[in-house]
Structure 1
Amino acid sequence: MRTLVTSAVVGLVVAALAIGPVAAGGDDHDHDRARAALERGEVLPLRTILDKIEREHPGKVVEVELEREHGRWIYEIRLLRSGGALVRLDVDARDGTVLGIRSRGDNGGKR
């Protein structure tokens, strides 16, 4: 069942790639804000961010959120690594720089 849910989430992320960044919660207002940020050049397209992340951080993308924090757009990307660790990357949506990494899973700790 967990695999089915994970596949569904990944499927939604992939479907969203065709239309631009994913907004937190799927709220229409959030989606509109995210699209406007993309059109203004404030954020990179999600596909661009994911291409970079996939090269530098192995794992399966299971969730993506785009949030505005302290005047900056941040993609929060959750990856499931092969050993079962869940990793959250905070990525600057403007240039793709990884700002922070938190990990939970196979070693039980956070980073």
Structure 2
Amino acid sequence: MKSLFAILLPYMMGLTIVLSPVALAGRDLDQNEARRLMLSGQIRPLSELMLLHPERLNGHLLDVELEEEDGRLVYEIEVLGKDGVVREFYLDASSGAVIKEEIED
């Protein structure tokens, strides 16, 4: 008969993985996943969503990532504004709504 520890060990390991900081931070999607999601209509093209926010996204585009955060697909966009300030914008990848805006240090 298995000990209680032997029975619970796989569950404890799974819980550790689920609760790790990396798991909670969300995951980056690669270009193949992004293309598949766009073609299936689950997300809108980034170029289309950027047109919804011309003033906010005005400047030099530094970085873009498509991430899944809390079950939501989000574009993380980093822009160097004409004022010299680097800002990060988080856009809902399906609606284009601004979720969050941060100034980078």
TM range (shorter): 0.5 to 0.7
SS in 2 for 1:53: coil
- Give the fraction of aligned pairs with identical amino acids, expressed as a percent: 29
TM-score when normalising by structure 2: 0.65
| TM-superposed deviation, 1:92 | 0.1
**1:92–1:37: structure 2 CA closer, same or farther, 3 Å change rule?**
same
Q: 1:89 to 1:47 in 2, by over 3 A?
A: same
Q: C-alpha root-mean-square deviation of aligned residues, in Å?
A: 1.8
Question: Within 2, Cα distance between the matches of 1:57 and 1:78?
Answer: 9
Gaps of 5+ in 2: 1-27
Greater percentage in helix: 1
Structure 1 unaligned regions, length at least 5? 1-23, 106-111
Larger radius of gyration: 2
Q: Deviations over 1:21-69 (max 9, x none)?
A: xxx5xxxx82111111111211101110121222444322221111111
Q: Give the whole-Å Cα distance in 1 for the aligned partners of 2:51 and 2:61.
A: 11
What is the Cα deviation at residue 78 of structure 1?
A: 0.6
Q: Which residue pairs with 1:69 in the alignment?
A: 69
**Letter of the aligned partner of 1:51 in structure 2?**
L
> Following superposition of structure 1 onto structure 2, how do residues 1-111 of structure 1 map, counting pairs within 5 Å?
30-104=30-104
Q: How many residues align?
A: 78
SS in 2 for 1:54: coil
Please give the TM-score of this superposition, normalised by the length of structure 1.
0.62
